A and B are shown apart, each in its own frame.
Chain A
Amino acid sequence: MGPLIHLQPLDLVVSTMLVVAAGVISVLLRLGIGRRLAVAAVRTVIQLGLIGLVLEKIFALRQAAPVVLLVLLMIFFAGREAVKRTGRRYPSVYLDAWLAMAVSCLAVGGVVTQVVVGVHPWFDPQYVIPLLGMILGNSLTGVALGLDRFLEHLAVRRAEVELRLAFGATRAEALTPPLRDAMRTGMIPILNSMAAAGIVSLPGMMTGQILAGSPPLQAVAYQVVVMFMIAAAVAIGAMLVVLAAGRRLMDADGVLRLEGLQAR
């Protein structure tokens, strides 16, 4: 295996021409997305550049505190983003999303980094940050889809929920159908990517490892770990957020409290 090929400034200039080509096509076909493409391209460079600088700094420090702080920040932004993607909200929805993300991400991330990969020191940023980032990015989608579906079910299919309650369903019995509906919806993206992995696409992380010089089977092993951890994080995160929302929106005696539920 040859040495790692480093990218030079000129390489970035060449790749910029590629995105310019996309822009030219947009202008020629009057797609009207030239401006958005330019903004997106600039954002990509700035955001990735900044996180690159931060990561360089954190890698160089090799201390626990900055890693923990960065992880907490990532959880904060992931929870906020998850709520932004739902069509309905209730007063404590941010708190519930943050708690669900934090618990699922720290539990799954903890097992993967400390037991499966077994990193030393325990906070080794080279492993901890990218792994937790992947968990968060995916469980964000699961939490957002699951929560959105759950709230929609309660609002749109309220008559069905109340029908069950009217015939004596307990809170758990009345909330089981919306919970199942929400979990199924939340799990679809990860189920799809697990089913397509290796056949339709080479997953991004595996591609990255191969580019960085890992033997393919090592990259595959990592990818399997990552897929499984994402599936677990999505399932745990979506379940927690939906259970929390259920408790907020229906009291222990099964009275629905949807006054606070607002469509956006």
Chain B
Amino acid sequence: MTTLLECGPLSAKDGEGRTLFHGARLTLDEGRLALLEGPSGSGKSTLLRQVAALLEAPGASRRLEGEEYGPGRLARWRARVTLAAQDAPVLPGTVAWNLEFPFAFRHARRNECDPAAQRAALDGVGLERLPLDRDVATLSGGERHRLALARALLWDPPVLLADEPLAGLDPDRAALCFERLAEHAHRAGRAVLCVLHEGVMGFSGDRRLRLVDSRLEEA
């Protein structure tokens, strides 16, 4: 098994100064779906945001396929180790705009994102009936979450960090979306680390990590 991503040591405190986790090291293997668990408030989102380099992680090194991404290369890193953030943020505008905007960035790994691919990505998460020109302001919470997941899958990063991607979905749709995540993870050169929301049952990955007592460990 090949190690795809190595990141650490990661440490963080919460707003009151209590340690969330200390000296955590994360490794993700190619072709694997890992689930990250832990009680609410244990710092799962913070950990994901640090891995994605959206939060500072002093002293941490970030490696993808053995290649170090240090200062000055973090935008490149995020294009490859992409966070699908909690609450499924969207940009004002159409569904199509929300799917294609990253492909115009300088560090995009490819610049084409044709409507057929966009359509297929939406169909894959059960949004067959959602037109590409719909204004995202009119989407329901569940539709928004699936749109955000479709965007992440279309973007096709080597490592996808998904923070509660199934929130607000009914069981059937949640199962469909989880299947898409697993498919993505199981491809060559890919890996997924996924945090599931509180109370969601019946999903298992290839590996379970737990954030408990300020340590990151195998569950």
Q: Which residues of A are at the interface with B, using a C-beta cutoff of 8 A?
A: 159-160, 162-171, 173, 252-256
**Do residues B102 and A255 form an inter-chain contact, with CB atoms below 8 A?**
no
**Do residues A253 and B53 form an inter-chain contact, with CB atoms below 8 A?**
yes
Question: B58-81 interface mask toward A, CB cutoff 8 Å, 1 = contact, 0 = none?
Answer: 000000000000011011101110
* Given contact pairs A159-B85, A159-B89, A160-B89, A166 touches B72 in the complex (Cβ within 8 A): no
**Do residues B87 and A169 form an inter-chain contact, with CB atoms below 8 A?**
no
Besides A166-B52, A170-B75, A255-B55, 20 more A-B contacts (Cβ < 8 Å) are A159-B87, A159-B89, A160-B90, A162-B54, A162-B89, A165-B54, A167-B101, A168-B75, A168-B82, A168-B105, A169-B78, A169-B102, A170-B106, A173-B106, A253-B72, A253-B75, A254-B75, A255-B53, A255-B56, A255-B74
**Do residues A173 and B105 form an inter-chain contact, with CB atoms below 8 A?**
yes
- Closest Cβ of chain A to B111, distance in Å, is 12
A167: nearest chain-B partner, CB-CB: B102
Which 10 residue pairs of A and B lie closest in terms of their CB atoms, listed nearest first? A168-B79, A167-B102, A253-B74, A159-B89, A168-B107, A166-B83, A163-B89, A170-B75, A168-B78, A168-B105
* Given contact pairs A160-B91, A254-B74, A254-B75, A169 touches B53 in the complex (Cβ within 8 A): no
Which residues on the A side are within 8 Å of B84 (C-beta)? 166
Which residues on the A side are within 8 Å of B85 (C-beta)? 159, 162-163, 166
Interface centre among A169, A254, A255, A256 (most CB of B within 10 A): A169
- Closest Cβ of chain A to B15, distance in Å, is 11
* Given contact pairs A255-B54, A255-B74, A166 touches B91 in the complex (Cβ within 8 A): no
In the complex, A255→B74 CA distance in Å?
Answer: 9
B127 on the A face (CB < 8 A): no
Task: Count contacts on B: residues with CB < 8 A to the other chain.
Answer: 29
- Closest Cβ of chain A to B86, distance in Å, is 9
Which residues on the A side are within 8 Å of B155 (C-beta)? 167
B24 on the A face (CB < 8 A): no
17 contacts between A and B (CB under 8 A): A160-B91, A163-B89, A166-B52, A166-B83, A166-B84, A166-B85, A167-B155, A168-B75, A168-B76, A168-B78, A168-B107, A169-B78, A170-B106, A253-B71, A254-B74, A255-B56, A255-B74
* Given contact pairs A159-B85, A255-B53, A255-B54, A166 touches B106 in the complex (Cβ within 8 A): no
B167 on the A face (CB < 8 A): no
Which residues on the B side are within 8 Å of A159 (C-beta)? 85, 87, 89
B108 on the A face (CB < 8 A): yes
B107: nearest chain-A partner, CB-CB: A168
In the complex, A173→B78 CA distance in Å?
Answer: 13
- Closest Cβ of chain A to B107, distance in Å, is 4
In the complex, A144→B188 CA distance in Å?
Answer: 52
- Closest Cβ of chain B to A122, distance in Å, is 45
- Closest Cβ of chain B to A184, distance in Å, is 15
B85: nearest chain-A partner, CB-CB: A166
**Do residues B74 and A164 form an inter-chain contact, with CB atoms below 8 A?**
no
**Do residues B89 and A167 form an inter-chain contact, with CB atoms below 8 A?**
no
In the complex, A173→B108 CA distance in Å?
Answer: 12
B80-122 CB contacts (< 8 Å) to partner A: 80, 82-85, 87, 89-92, 101-102, 105-108
In the complex, A160→B93 CA distance in Å?
Answer: 12
Which residues on the B side are within 8 Å of A254 (C-beta)? 53, 74-75, 78
B106: nearest chain-A partner, CB-CB: A170
In the complex, A256→B106 CA distance in Å?
Answer: 19
A252: nearest chain-B partner, CB-CB: B72
- Closest Cβ of chain B to A261, distance in Å, is 16
In the complex, A23→B56 CA distance in Å?
Answer: 59
**Do residues A168 and B54 form an inter-chain contact, with CB atoms below 8 A?**
no
